[in-house]
Amino acid sequence: MNKRFASFAALGLSSVLMLTACGNDGGSGLAEGPEEEEGAGGGEINIALIPWEEDIAATNMWKVLLEEKGYDVTVTDLDVAPVFQGAANGDVDLFLDTWLPVTHADYWDEYGDQLEDLGAWYDNAKLTLTVPTYMEDVNSIEDLPDVAGDLDNRIVGIESGSGLVRVTKEEAMPGYGLDEDFELIESSTSAMLAELDSAYQEEEPIVVTLWRPHIAYSQYDLKDLEDPEGLMGDAETVHSIGREGFAEDFPEVAEWLGDFTMSDEELGALEVATLEDYEDDPEEGARVWLSENPEFVERTLGEAAEGVEF
């Protein structure tokens, strides 16, 4: 359901895994076996990554954590459909950014019986229609028809077929009568953010599809439009999911993921570190953030945090 956004073109799973293999000296990049075969704190784990802001932040953080604990971690860039297909097939081990119960519901319905829910780590994920705060007279989705002309009759969206675009097009626009006055521009996340930045610098009116958590909220002064009918959906939870058998093969990691939670403040700071402060090296940004947040490491790893240094 939700190819919510990607800065990469959608890739077929086999092609991406072939590229991943080539980048690892001919190895598959997949877990070779359970911990009991590799020894505690060992083994190869392949984490699927979609370049969503919270996923980039969380994946790089877990890559650093797991490598510090002796695991060999490969990160494979994928579009969302191949993520769920690959995890269901056992071709990837782990994905950290599954939105439930709504955004990824279709994928979970199709593949959930072949996957393991390793736990929810964030509970305030939300799809939104958002404007800059300088648009003082626009505070609700219901206000948009009154300023349709100022907005050039456009709502700037992201990838076609994404859950965010689907909800906007199929629920919010007809529910608020926006389909009569507006065209939903289906482009890409990067294109949407570029339009937002351009309009913001000139203080021009714009409405975009956005979501929380997102680093844009720390970069711009934005406000989410009120949704009195609840058509954009309620807040969701973000889950870590694994291939079937992941918890059996990696019980230590599954336990850590089960204890993994982040507050709005923690996730926001991690996103700034990985996507802004260390834009060209998000892994280093995650390492710096972890070094500055030892209480998070202790909370997440428990006794295994002893001796961990970044």
Which CATH number goes with the domain that contains 192? 3.40.190.100
Q: Tell which of 181, 198, 224 closes a domain.
A: 224
CB atoms under 10 Å from CB of 262, counted, come to 22
Torsional sign, CA 240, 118, 34, 68: positive
245 and 220, same domain (yes or no): no
Does residue 230 lie within any of the structural domains? no
State the burial class of residue 25 (Cβ atoms within 10 Å of its Cβ: 0-12, 13-18, 19+). Answer: exposed
Q: Tell which of 198, 224, 250 closes a domain.
A: 224
295 and 250, same domain (yes or no): yes
Full residue range of the structural domain in which residue 35 is found:
13-124+236-305
pLDDT bracket for residue 163 (50, 70, 90): confident
200 and 254, same domain (yes or no): no
ω into residue 213 within 30 of 0, thus cis?
yes
Does residue 2 lie within any of the structural domains? no
120 and 265, same domain (yes or no): yes
136 and 260, same domain (yes or no): no
260 and 299, same domain (yes or no): yes
Does residue 231 lie within any of the structural domains? no
pLDDT over threshold 50, residue 102: yes
**What is the b/e burial string over 68-101, where b = at least 16 CB atoms within 10 angstroms of the residue's CB?**
bbebbbbbbbbbbbbbbbbbbeebbbbbbbbbbe
pLDDT bracket for residue 142 (50, 70, 90): very high
247 and 259, same domain (yes or no): yes
119 and 240, same domain (yes or no): yes
243 and 117, same domain (yes or no): yes
Amino acid at 44: E
Does residue 229 lie within any of the structural domains? no
Instruction: Report pLDDT digits (tens) over 244-298.
Output: 999 999 999 999 999 999 998 899 999 999 999 999 999 999 999 999 999 999 9
Does residue 8 lie within any of the structural domains? no
Provide the pLDDT for residue 218: 83
CA distance 214 to 225: 16
pLDDT over threshold 60, residue 17: no
pLDDT over threshold 50, residue 9: no
148 and 180, same domain (yes or no): yes
Provide the pLDDT for residue 41: 62
| Number of domains observed in the structure of the chain | 2
Does residue 162 lie within any of the structural domains? yes
CA of 116: how far to CAs of 76, 88, 209, 250, 257, in Å? 19, 9, 30, 12, 12
Does residue 210 lie within any of the structural domains? yes
119 and 141, same domain (yes or no): no
- The CATH number of residue 259's host domain is 3.40.190.10
CA distance 237 to 226: 20
26 and 116, same domain (yes or no): yes
pLDDT over threshold 80, residue 306: yes
Instruction: Report pLDDT digits (tens) over 50-63.
Output: 978 899 999 999 99
Half-sphere exposure of 169 (CA within 13 A, CB side): 15
Does residue 6 lie within any of the structural domains? no
Provide the pLDDT for residue 213: 87
Is the pLDDT higher at 30 or at 261?
Answer: 261
Q: Tell which of 224, 251, 277 closes a domain.
A: 224
